[in-house]
Protein backbone atom coordinates (compact mmCIF):
# COMPACT_ATOMS: atom_id res chain seq x y z
CA UNK A 1 0.00 0.00 0.00
CA UNK A 2 1.34 3.44 -0.84
CA UNK A 3 1.94 5.90 2.00
CA UNK A 4 -0.99 8.03 0.83
CA UNK A 5 -3.29 5.00 0.82
CA UNK A 6 -2.05 4.00 4.25
CA UNK A 7 -2.68 7.52 5.57
CA UNK A 8 -6.21 7.49 4.15
CA UNK A 9 -6.85 4.09 5.70
CA UNK A 10 -5.60 5.21 9.11
CA UNK A 11 -7.75 8.36 8.92
CA UNK A 12 -10.80 6.30 7.91
CA UNK A 13 -10.28 3.96 10.86
CA UNK A 14 -10.71 6.94 13.20
CA UNK A 15 -14.23 7.54 11.87
CA UNK A 16 -17.28 6.21 13.72
CA UNK A 17 -18.56 2.88 12.41
CA UNK A 18 -21.55 4.34 10.55
CA UNK A 19 -19.29 6.83 8.76
CA UNK A 20 -16.90 4.00 7.76
CA UNK A 21 -19.83 2.01 6.36
CA UNK A 22 -20.97 5.03 4.36
CA UNK A 23 -17.44 5.53 3.05
CA UNK A 24 -17.19 1.87 2.03
CA UNK A 25 -20.54 2.01 0.24
CA UNK A 26 -19.58 5.17 -1.62
CA UNK A 27 -16.23 3.73 -2.67
CA UNK A 28 -17.85 0.51 -3.89
CA UNK A 29 -20.30 2.55 -5.97
CA UNK A 30 -17.32 3.92 -7.92
CA UNK A 31 -16.10 0.45 -8.90
CA UNK A 32 -17.48 -0.43 -12.34
CA UNK A 33 -18.71 -3.97 -12.72
CA UNK A 34 -18.22 -4.82 -9.07
CA UNK A 35 -21.71 -5.78 -7.99
CA UNK A 36 -21.51 -6.99 -4.40
CA UNK A 37 -25.03 -8.35 -4.19
CA UNK A 38 -28.19 -7.29 -2.46
CA UNK A 39 -28.04 -4.86 0.46
CA UNK A 40 -28.43 -6.68 3.77
CA UNK A 41 -31.58 -4.70 4.59
CA UNK A 42 -33.19 -5.53 1.24
CA UNK A 43 -36.48 -7.45 1.32
CA UNK A 44 -35.15 -9.53 -1.60
CA UNK A 45 -32.03 -10.43 0.42
CA UNK A 46 -34.12 -11.55 3.40
CA UNK A 47 -36.38 -13.56 1.08
CA UNK A 48 -33.31 -15.25 -0.42
CA UNK A 49 -32.00 -16.13 3.04
CA UNK A 50 -35.40 -17.57 3.96
CA UNK A 51 -35.49 -19.59 0.72
CA UNK A 52 -32.01 -21.01 1.31
CA UNK A 53 -32.82 -21.85 4.92
CA UNK A 54 -35.98 -23.68 3.86
CA UNK A 55 -34.09 -25.64 1.16
CA UNK A 56 -31.46 -27.20 3.41
CA UNK A 57 -31.71 -30.14 5.75
CA UNK A 58 -28.20 -29.88 7.14
CA UNK A 59 -28.56 -26.78 9.30
CA UNK A 60 -25.96 -26.08 11.94
CA UNK A 61 -26.97 -24.20 15.05
CA UNK A 62 -25.13 -20.94 15.73
CA UNK A 63 -24.19 -22.19 19.19
CA UNK A 64 -22.54 -25.25 17.60
CA UNK A 65 -20.51 -23.02 15.29
CA UNK A 66 -19.46 -20.84 18.21
CA UNK A 67 -18.38 -23.90 20.18
CA UNK A 68 -16.08 -24.95 17.32
CA UNK A 69 -14.09 -21.74 17.41
Tally of structural domains, the chain: 1
**Structural domain contains residue 38:** yes
Q: Where do runs of H (alpha helix) occur along 1-69? A: 3-13, 17-29, 43-55, 62-68
Instruction: Using DSSP, state whether 24 is helix, strand or coil.
Output: helix
**Structural domain contains residue 23:** yes
Q: Tell me: the pLDDT tens digits for 19-51?
A: 999 999 898 888 877 666 767 778 888 888 888
- Range(s) of the domain holding residue 37: 3-56
Q: What is the pTM of this model?
A: 0.46
% of the chain residues with pLDDT over 70: 87
CA distance 66 to 44: 28
**Structural domain contains residue 41:** yes
Amino acid sequence: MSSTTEQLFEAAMLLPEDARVTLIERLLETMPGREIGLPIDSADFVAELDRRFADGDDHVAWTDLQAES
